[in-house]
Structure 1
Amino acid sequence: MFVAADSDRVGYLVSLLFHSSIDVRVDSAALIEIVFAGIRSLDFRAQISDARKIFEGVVRLVLGEAASAQAVKAGAAKVLIDRLVEFEKCDTERVLASVELLRRIPSGLAAFAARSLTVPTLVIIILTISDRATEYTAGALLSLCSNSELTRREAMAAGVLTKLLFLVQSYCTERAKRKAQMLLKLLRDSWPEDTIANSDDFACSDVVPYCFCS
């Protein structure tokens, strides 16, 4: 709390996220994560931090494969997911682009899977921000669900089925639809028996070719 109690010290740590040295940026991000983990009051967090500067610094860390691995070690996955719903549309797209980059490396995918908020937050984002955001989100969910049965159950509990069924029939990008189709096929065994996906009406719908194609 010694650092957290002084906004100037926190501000200095945030400024180090933009240092020319990647090692300094990584160490700063890791220290910021430790400081904020010890603060339970959301109001206090808001008072001592500049969310936009922290966001910009973390996004810079994610650029490049080597830097991405270091960003994961510094706690980037937690920062991105925990702050995702707080940003404006353009910033949300950038966060999701960063998530898309990090989930491509094993340590990044594992870090996102370990966060209980990851799947519910991503499900909420589908079809609510932009086509690009939906595309990034569908890709991230596909990777996460491909890797874990537990994650698939979490996605179903968060309401992903309804979102995906709307997505494949929407005017979203073809890439987003393809990812949604793959995710629906992956989740097929997890569908509850009483959902529309298992009803006779669904079996005759236009969505079936997307979900059950070989």
Structure 2
Amino acid sequence: MLGSLEPLDLGVQIPYHFRCPISWELMCDPVTVCTGQTYDRASIEAWVATGNTTCPVTRAPLTDLTLIPNHTLRRLIQDWCVANSSFGVQRIPTPKQPAEPGLVRNLLSQASSHSNPYNSRLSALRRLRGLARDSDKNRSVISSHNVREILINILFSNINSDSSLELNHESLALLIMFPLGESDCMAIALDADKITYLANLLFHSSIEVRVNSAALIEIVLAGMRSQELRAQFSNVDEVFEGLIEILRKLQSYPRGLKDVIKTLFALCLVNQTRQ
């Protein structure tokens, strides 16, 4: 890692103020806390996550956990990296800022409101998926806003109509990024129409939709302790047929191999389906 390289290895001394006071590595995403001290975002977030409530340098209480990006320092570090590229120093990338809770709330509101135009709802879901892909931090922020219930409602709305298919598929792609609670899993497993819908998606023309459906089935199966409820899926022949058919198509979508095998394994945990 760049920040841990010794000066003799690089032939250049990393400036003291470019190092994070916690990790002593070169800062990639410097942020300033309420005490005025600057740390690398990953380091100070890890510090707070382990239960610390004081500033590591000043020991003053962290009364406000807002992390303010130090753009000036980050640009100085980037300029220093470029100036010392001949020593093997690589320029740190400009970090993507974490999703603001207010933005997440607005996007979820747009996506879930039936009074909004269809394209507006679809655009909101796509933007949320982009944010979720960016970082664990973003997924944590999105997860704290009742996202599972909202996405489940969108996914299984109008399942007998062709008018909202793209919206349903986008909600499915986002939903599988989050673990479901047992109550969510049970609500799906107890509804024959929802099971049938997911089984039908295993035969969709889009391999991504098919694999995402398999992934959600696996999440639901793994999230329940009841053998009887798991059997609600294993008793549907189309589920097995769809999964096997996906395996035959995976040369065009390698990512799905792990998801499909995990789903088949989860189904095999139901005693009566192992043979």
Task: Report the TM-score, using the length of structure 1 for normalisation.
Answer: 0.54
Among all aligned residue pairs of Structure 1 and Structure 2, give the percentage whose two residues are the same amino acid.
Answer: 11
| 1:116 Cα deviation after fit | 8.6
Instruction: Please tell me whether residue 92 in structure 1 is matched to residue 182 in structure 2.
Output: no
Does the aligned pair in 2 maintain the 1:58–1:71 contact within 8 Å? yes
Which stretches in structure 1 are left out of the alignment for 5+ residues? 169-179, 185-210
2:133 to 37, 55, 77: 37
Show CA shifts across 1:40-81 (max 9, x none).
23544445x33245335433556333145213552x333333
Instruction: Please tell me whether residue 6 in structure 1 is matched to residue 97 in structure 2.
Output: no
Letter in 2 for 1:79: L
Instruction: Please tell me whether residue 101 in structure 1 is matched to residue 197 in structure 2.
Output: yes
Aligned residues: 162
| 3-state SS, counterpart of residue 158 of structure 1 | helix
Q: For the structure 1 residues 94 and 100, does the alpha-carbon distance in structure 2 shift closer, same or farther, using more than 3 Å as the test?
A: farther
Letter in 1 for 2:155: V
Instruction: Please tell me whether residue 136 in structure 1 is matched to residue 233 in structure 2.
Output: yes
After superposition, residues 12-23 of structure 1 pair within 5 angstroms as: 12-16=106-110, 17-20=112-115, 21-23=117-119
Does the aligned pair in 1 maintain the 2:234–2:267 contact within 8 Å? no
| 1:130 Cα deviation after fit | 6.5
Show CA shifts across 1:90-142 (max 9, x none).
x22344554641441414664242689557535535x7247455313654741
After superposition, residues 182-193 of structure 1 pair within 5 angstroms as: none
Q: For the structure 1 residues 99 and 119, does the alpha-carbon distance in structure 2 shift closer, same or farther, using more than 3 Å as the test?
A: closer
| 3-state SS, counterpart of residue 65 of structure 1 | coil
After superposition, residues 17-166 of structure 1 pair within 5 angstroms as: 17-20=112-115, 21-41=117-137, 42-47=139-144, 49-59=145-155, 61=157, 63-67=159-163, 69-74=165-170, 76-83=171-178, 85-89=179-183, 91-95=184-188, 98=194, 100-105=196-201, 106-107=204-205, 110-113=208-211, 117=215, 120-121=218-219, 124=222, 128-129=225-226, 131-132=228-229, 134-136=231-233, 139=236, 141-142=239-240, 143-149=242-248, 154-155=261-262, 158=265, 160-161=267-268, 163-164=269-270, 166=271
Task: Give me the whole-angstrom Cα distance separating, in 2, the residues matched to 1:38 and 1:12.
Answer: 18
Letter in 2 for 1:8: G
Letter in 2 for 1:128: R
Task: Report the TM-score, using the length of structure 2 for normalisation.
Answer: 0.44
Which stretches in structure 2 are left out of the alignment for 5+ residues? 1-95, 251-256
Higher helix proportion: 1
Letter in 1 for 2:231: T
Task: Give me the whole-angstrom Cα distance separating, in 2, the residues matched to 1:57 and 1:160.
Answer: 25
| 1:14 Cα deviation after fit | 0.5
| 1:159 Cα deviation after fit | 5.8
Does the aligned pair in 1 maintain the 2:122–2:167 contact within 8 Å? yes
Higher relative contact order (CA 8 A, sep 6+): 1
Does the aligned pair in 2 maintain the 1:26–1:71 contact within 8 Å? yes
Q: For the structure 1 residues 115 and 137, does the alpha-carbon distance in structure 2 shift closer, same or farther, using more than 3 Å as the test?
A: same
